[in-house]
Amino acid sequence: MGQEMTVKGKAVYRAVALAFAGVIGMGAVGPMPLAVAGKRPALQVIPANPDDAFVELRNAARRNDVARSWELADSLSDYPIQSYVQYFRIKPQLFDASGYARTDAPEDDIRSFLQRYKGEAIADRLRNDWLLVLGKKRDWATFDAEYPQFVLKDDTQVECYALLSRAMKGQNVAADARNTLSDPKSYGEGCVDLIGYLAQSGQLARADVAFAARLSLEQNLVTQAARIAAVLPEGDRVDNDTLANVTRMARSDPSQATAYLMAQSGGLSKEEQGAGWGVIGQYAAKKQTPDALDAYRRQMTLGGDAWLSDESQEWRVRTALRAGDWKMVRQAIDSMRAPLRSRDPAWTYWYGRALKADGRNDDARQQFQSIAGQFNFYGQLALEELGQRITVPQRTAVTDAEIDPMGRNHPGFGRAKRLYDLNLRFEGNREWNWELRNMSDRELLAAAEYGRKLGMLDRTVNSADKTRNEHDFSLRFPMPFRNVVERNADAVGLDVAWTYGLIRQESRFIMDARSSVGASGLMQVMPETAKRVAKKIGLPAFRPSQMSDIDTNVLLGTSYLSMILTDLDSSMTLATAGYNAGPGRPKRWRSTLTGPVEGAIFAETIPFNETRAYVKNVLSNATYYGALLTGRPQSLKDRLGKVAPEAVTPDDLP
**Residues catalogued as catalytic:** 506
Hey, which residues does 597 pair with through a beta bridge?
643
Hey, which residues does 31 pair with through a beta bridge?
26
- Non-local (6+) Cβ contacts of 629 within 8 A are 479, 496, 497
Q: Does residue 188 contact residue 162 with C-beta atoms inside 8 Å?
A: no
Q: Which of helix, strand or coil describes residue 577?
A: helix
- At 643, give phi and psi (nearest 5°): -125, 125
What are the DSSP calls for 248-309, one per residue? HHHHH-HHHHHHHHHHHGGGS-HHHHHHHHHHHHHHHHHTT-THHHHHHHHHHHH--GGGS-
- Non-local (6+) Cβ contacts of 389 within 8 A are 383, 633, 634, 635
Q: Does residue 240 contact residue 210 with C-beta atoms inside 8 Å?
A: no
Q: Does residue 125 contact residue 88 with C-beta atoms inside 8 Å?
A: no
| Helix, strand and coil in the chain, % to nearest 5 | 65, 5, 30
Calpha distance 428→446 (Å, rounded): 18
SS (H, E, C) 377-419: HHHHHHHHHCCCCECCCCECCCCHHHHCCHHHHCHHHHHHHHH
Chain centroid, CA 631 distance in Å? 33
Calpha distance 561→33 (Å, rounded): 56
Calpha distance 278→291 (Å, rounded): 12
Q: Does residue 280 contact residue 252 with C-beta atoms inside 8 Å?
A: no
